Structure 1
Amino acid sequence: MDMKTLRAEALRRVIGPLSQKDFADQHDLDASYLSQILNGHRGLGEKAALNLEQKIGLAPGVLVNPSGYGSNLIEGEFTRHEVRDQPSPAYKALQQTASPRAIAVIEKLARAAAKGKLKESDLVLLEGIAALLEKANAEKP
């Protein structure tokens, strides 16, 4: 199997049970680009694989050199930098009660924060939104 095919297979394992569209939406990617890679219409070269690893938060080498990783490492936790060994109790509770869309939004915010992409003005805005949601939900019977 050539390297581009190995990379496409590694990407398929990273996407896991999500649809290509859901995965693309979660990571601000073009779904048609993913489809072209996964269907073999476009090869995933080294530079593109490196850029994709960085964009979706994968450990270095997962897509660039998938033959150096066992499939068990790629599957499941996706080997993301920001994934902790033990999720916090708050995150565990969130996974049990929140909708998949709410979890996806929170994970996007967490990735942005981990990459240092949130400015102080963003945090002020998010705090205001959180306070409004808490107040609105406290008033419901």
Structure 2
Amino acid sequence: MYYIAIAEGQTEGPFSLEVLENYFTQKKINAKTMVFQEGGQEWEEFEKVLAKYHKKIVPKSKVSEEQNTDVNLTLGNWFFLIGRVVAVCGLIGFFVCIAQKLIGLAVACLLSGFFSLMFFLWMGKIYDRIAECVLLLKNMQNNNQ
């Protein structure tokens, strides 16, 4: 059972960890909310308590966590890299067209490079969110087993 700090020395509780997780999902508490476990020695942030609890339930090897993180970072960074390359190509096209006095085509190259950059940055963020959701769903599945 856990107690939460609400304001200037006031506490509420006791709550089970499941209730606190629901409060967190409902945004009644946040990751930095201070929590005290009955029989514990000190107050801790909710995110640390939750991390300890989930480590006990779903032990993972450090090697597999590092591999998953590296793969996710590598795949997510490809979107950013492609966006930058396309933007640079748009700039090169812009300057080449300006040198040839093709103003309309120069503007088209510049705009296509800019919008391509924005598209790939957006796709990178979407990929990151999907990867987080997959990880969350895997953790939920492991907790239910």
- Normalising to structure 1: TM-score of the pair? 0.33
More helix by share: 2
Q: Which has the larger radius of gyration?
A: 2
Higher relative contact order (CA 8 A, sep 6+): 1
- Normalising to structure 2: TM-score of the pair? 0.32
More strand by share: 2
